[in-house]
Structure 1
Amino acid sequence: MFRHIKDGAFLRQVSQDQMKAALHTYHPSRFLTTPKGRKVVKTVNTFKITILCGFITILVLRGTLGPGGLTWGSSPQVIDLREQIIMSQRERVLAQVEEAIPDEVTASKFVKEEEWDGVSPYTLGQKITDWDSQRETWNAQNPGMNKTVSGRPKMLLVSGSQPSPCANPMGDFYHLKFLKNRIDYARLHDLEFFYNMATFEKEMSSFWAKLPLLRKMMLNHPDVEWIWWMDSDAIFTDMTFEMPMEKYGKSNLIVHGFHNLLFEQQRWIGLNTGSFFLRNCQWSLDLLDVLAPFGPEGPTRVEAGKLLTAKLVDRPVFEADDQSALVYLILFGDPKWKANTYIEWEFLLHGYWKYVVYNYEEMMSKNHPGYGDDRWPFVTHFVGCKPCKLGATPENAECFKQMERAFNFADNQVLEKYGYTHTALGSFKTQKIRRDSVNPLGLYKLQPNSSGRSKETVSHSISKEES
């Protein structure tokens, strides 16, 4: 027993000596090499990066918001309208460049096309030089065909989307909703409407696909005085407003833009070709012919893009686009392009969605349709959104959410006539806002009878005095 006690005391003494030696040789770096130590280091580094990112974010916000610091104010939009539109121009074009996919199978499946040699300047077809006289003769032989029922010059609204299904089904769903919106507006304002899903020229892909389409519309509809192009990602949000076409006189092209950005600063985003009006005339055919050589897919478009980047302020290096080419022609081409182009800025032919969608409720509480400007935007344009892109991203989720709100904001103006409205701008559900009447056409007026109750009698158009 004595021996066991002695051995235990000896072991305790050895353990204490080992602990003292371990404490004597301990260094923090040894702990950092353990799994637990590495985890602590990783946590500390992450915390440092978070603080640094937060500091940088504060600096950026202070620079963006100006002297007001981090106070957002009553409006969720803190950037000037003009800067918003500049951003939207850039997003629109670069998004189309990114999504441009050659569709050679669709383009050549049914029609045998003439092969372009790639050396001679590209053309949209046979040169026409007497289109004005041809139209004049045609209209003389078909009197009244170039007028609407109300006597106004006939206008053709043209839009379209890709011939193949979207990778994201939600993209096709909102293409359908936006198509319904265009049909409603055309019906309300007595417009002809053409929606295209075909590839007319395989060399002219992406944003250039509109050129051969517009030329076909002009030549096959001599009765139409104006062609109105609208991108597939734009939607009418003022269903009452009509463009004052008499205001534009002899102008042949009406496009949204800003004079100082275009003529003074010579910026490539001085105008926007997402929604514009083109008169059906020889001048317009000539313009399409001059634009066409910039557009064929491949080396020609790439080299043309280098020219446009060199000549236009702040244009990134990418292939030629129709908007930049139009700016180039107005600034540096034949003076007739500038002379007959009207830069419209009073009405929102191009209302950048990030500027307008968050103000819909305020607009409804303070104003009414019919203005066409920032009080009630004529067109809301979802530039930068990629509804056909597969995969759920925060950007796409926000685009779809605001597309739904924009559609319902416009659709309420249509449904109101029938006594309905959406329960909320973000909901597809509807609710009744007015009871049906036995006098829907307003042909009767209420008159009290002998019992004191009112009854409806026919209100004749001719009064007793006139009879």
Structure 2
Amino acid sequence: MRSECCTHPTPNLRFDPPDSTFYDDSELRYSIDKKVTGWDDKRKEWLKRHPTFTAGSKDMIVMVTGSQPNPCQNPIGDHLLLRAFKNKVDYCRIHGYDVFYNNWSMDFIDAWANMGTISPDYKKWGEIQRSVFKDKLFPESNDQTALIYLIYKDRRLTDKIYLEGEYYFKGYWVEIVPTYYNITKKYVGIEREDNLLRRRHAEKVSEQYAAFREPHLKEAGNGRWCWRRPFITHFTGCQPCSGNHNQIYAEESCWNGMLKALNFADNQVLRKYGFVHPDLLDSKTVTDSLFDYPDEGPW
């Protein structure tokens, strides 16, 4: 029996009452130089007139992502960015999250942009940041330090931000990419022992099977050098779009590492449909896996 308390009405995409809202303001602009003020209040008023969009909204998760508007200088850059975006879309689809590509928080972006290179106060913000963060190496304001400064100083914004500290997010690619084969081998071993995990299932119930797998991962660890599947692999220094990678990394190792990471993630999606990339460096080739996978194939 389905409990009605756990269901929410579907948003009505064809209902827009004639009441005037901030969208009717002819002066409304979504630009940094002419910012939208009071965004949260405006949205609250709009939602009062569109109640089907509010049900369950406090429990919703949205993933925000984006990339630069211009084509990449690196010939492989646009392909890698597209694959990276597909990876996020796959994750959101499987877990039932929305994904939003572009401007995401009016108030936050406005405050953040004020510390950027287009701001007349750019030089001043560099000095302020160095006065707060004594170990900052360079005098200029930069995106990362500006972000940390906002989280540290502005309680209006930080009340809406959750800083994850219970999961290993760093995911340094040089350490993680070489472990993919061993991680896959460990997971295959688990699935050989538990036929429930080998059962074919719909994407929509993937989280249930993750819960079934969890007792087998008690010894996997949950941080650096663990053999749990990494949630994030961070390709710091690779700069796939510009191609101006940090010279301590070989160009080939950056791009090959990204291909391995993307195909490693892709395999977790393809498995549900009976396919797999047998070679993580070969994105074009997928092979069938037997119904009661894992079999003795090249996994």
Equivalent residue in structure 1 for 2:59, among 153, 167, 173: 153
After superposition, the C-alpha distances for 1:167-201 in whole angstroms (9 at most, x for unaligned) are: 221111111211221221222122222334xxxxx
2:35 counterpart (109, 125, 135): 125
TM-score by length of 2: 0.63
The structure-2 alpha-carbon separation of the partners of 1:183 and 1:330, relative to structure 1 and needing over 3 Å to count, comes to closer
Report the structure, 1 or 2, having the larger strand content. Answer: 1
Answering whether residue 133 of structure 2 is matched by residue 347 of structure 1, we say: no
Q: Is the 8 A contact 1:408 1:422 kept in 2?
A: yes
Q: 1:330, 1:323 → 2: CA distance?
A: 11
Aligned to 2:126: 305
Are 2:209 and 1:361 equivalent residues in the alignment? no
- Change over 3 Å in CA distance of 1:291–1:188 after alignment to 2: same
Task: Say if 1:356 and 1:380, in contact at 8 Å, map to a contact too.
Answer: yes
CA RMSD, 1 decimal: 3.4
Deviation at 1:403, TM superposition (A): 0.3
Q: 5+ unaligned residues in a row in structure 2: which ranges?
A: 1-28, 191-209, 215-220, 293-299
Residue deviations 1:392-413, cap 9 Å, x none?
9762211101101100110001
Cα pair distance change 1:404/1:307, threshold 3 Å: same
Structure 2: distance between partners of 1:189 and 1:343: 21
1:380 counterpart letter in structure 2: T
- CA gap of 1:145–1:405, structure 2 versus 1, over 3 A, is same
Question: Aligned pair in 2 of structure 1 residues 290, 402: CA closer, same or farther (>3 Å)?
Answer: same
Q: What is the TM-score of this pair, normalised by structure 1?
A: 0.42
Classify 1:291/1:435 alpha carbon distance in 2 versus 1 (closer, same or farther; 3 Å): closer
Structure 1 residue 156: deviation in Å?
3.1
1:290-315 deviations in Å (ceiling 9; x for gaps): 43321242663233223212320321
Q: 1:162 to 1:289 in 2, by over 3 A?
A: closer
Does the 8 Å CA contact 1:123/1:292 hold for their aligned counterparts? no
**Given the superposition, is the C-alpha separation of residues 314 and 183 from structure 1 closer, same or farther in structure 2, using an over 3 Å criterion?**
same
Aligned-residue offset at 1:318 = 4.3
Given the superposition, is the C-alpha separation of residues 135 and 416 from structure 1 closer, same or farther in structure 2, using an over 3 Å criterion?
A: same
SS of aligned partner of 1:294: coil
**Residue of structure 2 equivalent to 1:171:** 77
CA-CA distance at 1:132 after TM superposition? 4.3
Query: Is residue 388 of structure 1 aligned with residue 264 of structure 2?
Result: no
Q: Residue 163 of structure 1: CA displacement?
A: 2.1
Q: Is 1:147–1:153's contact at 8 Å kept on the other side of the alignment? A: no
Q: Distance in 2 between matches of 1:366 and 1:176?
A: 29
State how far apart, in whole Å, the 2-side matches of 1:391 and 1:336 are: 37
CA distance in 2, matches of 1:346, 1:304: 31
Query: 1:74 aligns to what?
Result: none
Match of 2:50 among 123, 132, 142: 142
Question: Aligned partners of 1:165, 1:133: CA distance in 2, in Å?
Answer: 36
Matching of residues 8-407 of structure 1 within 5 Å: 125-128=35-38, 131-147=39-55, 153-196=59-102, 213-215=103-105, 285=107, 287-297=108-118, 300-331=121-152, 333-336=153-156, 341-367=161-187, 373-374=222-223, 375-389=228-242, 395-407=250-262
- Call closer, same or farther: CA 1:292–1:173 in 2, change over 3 Å: closer
| Aligned twin of 1:433 | 289
Q: Would the aligned equivalents of 1:124 and 1:292 in 2 still touch at CA under 8 Å?
A: no
Match of 2:268 in 1: 413
Alpha carbons 2:172, 2:234 under 8 Å: kept? yes
Give, in angstroms, the shift of residue 160 of structure 1. 1.9
Q: Structure 1 regions of 5+ residues with no counterpart?
A: 1-113, 117-121, 197-212, 217-284, 437-467
Indicate if the aligned counterparts of 2:61 and 2:98 stay in contact, CA closer than 8 A.
Answer: yes
For 2:117 and 2:244, locate their aligned partners in 1 and report how far apart those are by CA, in whole Å: 31
CA 1:325–1:143 in 2, change beyond 3 Å: closer, same or farther?
Answer: same
Contact 1:155 1:191 (C-alpha < 8 Å) held by counterparts: yes
- 1:175 and 1:321 map into 2 onto residues whose CA distance is 23
- The match for 1:241 is none
Indicate the SS of the match to 2:64.
strand
- CA deviations on 1:405-464 (whole Å, 9 max, x unpaired) are 10011000100011011112222222111259xxxxxxxxxxxxxxxxxxxxxxxxxxxx
1:154 shift after superposition: 3.4
Compute the displacement of 1:139 (Å): 2.7
Shift of the 411–147 alpha-carbon distance from structure 1 to 2, 3 Å rule, reads farther
TM-superposed CA distance for 1:352, in Å, is 2.5
- State the shift of 1:125 in Å: 0.6
- Give secondary structure in 2 for the equivalent of 1:194: strand
Greater Cα radius of gyration, structure 1 or 2: 1
Amino acid across the alignment from 2:101: Y
Q: Give per-residue Cα distances to partners, 1:257-279, cap 9 Å, x unaligned.
A: xxxxxxxxxxxxxxxxxxxxxxx
| Percent identical | 34
> Quick check: 2:238–2:244 contact (8 Å CA) kept in 1?
no
Instruction: Give the secondary structure class of the aligned counterpart of 2:233.
Output: strand
Contact kept, 8 Å, 2:113 with 2:119, in 1: the verdict is no
